[in-house]
């Protein structure tokens, strides 16, 4: 009986530790943007410019928007989960660009707990034991 109680307490402690995971991961943009999923799902007609990547001067600026997406990380590696949720956020920005009449999103930054990461090579992904998320903020523009 005593060993069953100890085993139960150990299981509860382990579960609490696993659920408490909340890691901020810096992931490479090139890996996700060059993936077959990105090639299939991202709209090539809506250009994405991350960080300080050079974009042509816009004809019109249509507003700054944030896409905050979450996904289930169950049975996925951090890389798989982060890439999946990143694509969801990027697609959301592209859809917003279409809705606003734009053809590009510039100055895209990752946002993790209100901290921005402006990078042309990395994005932030919040990874937990069960859920993960990516938030991207960018400015929708109409390029010539």
Averaged pLDDT score across all residues of the chain: 90
CA distances from 7 to 4, 12, 17, 52, 94 (A): 5, 9, 15, 53, 50
* Three-state SS at 34: coil
> Which structural domains are found in the chain, ordered by start?
22-142 (3.30.110.70)
Residue 113: pLDDT above 50? yes
Which tens digits make up the pLDDT trace of 71-95?
999 889 999 999 999 999 999 999 9
Per-residue confidence (pLDDT) for residue 77, from 0 to 100: 94
Whole-prediction pTM: 0.85
Residue 11: pLDDT above 80? no
Q: What is the CA angle 36-126-87, rounded to 5?
A: 25
Residue 64: pLDDT above 90? yes
Per-residue confidence (pLDDT) for residue 22, from 0 to 100: 86
Residue 8: pLDDT above 90? no
């Amino acid at each position: 009986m005593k060993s069953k109680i100890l085993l139960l307490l150990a299981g509860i402690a382990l579960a609490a530790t696993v659920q408490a995971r909340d890691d901020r991961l810096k992931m490479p943009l090139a890996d996700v943007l060059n993936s077959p999923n990105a090639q299939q799902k991202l709209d090539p007609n809506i250009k994405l410019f991350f960080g300080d990547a050079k974009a042509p001067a816009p004809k019109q600026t249509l507003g700054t928007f944030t896409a905050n997406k979450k996904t289930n990380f169950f049975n996925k590696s951090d890389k798989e989960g982060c890439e999946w949720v990143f694509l969801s956020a990027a697609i959301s920005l592209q859809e917003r660009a279409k809705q606003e009449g734009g053809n590009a999103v510039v100055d895209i930054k990752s946002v993790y707990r209100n901290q921005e990461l402006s990078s042309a090579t990395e994005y932030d992904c919040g990874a937990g034991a069960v859920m993960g998320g990516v938030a991207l903020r960018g400015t929708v523009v109409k390029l010539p």
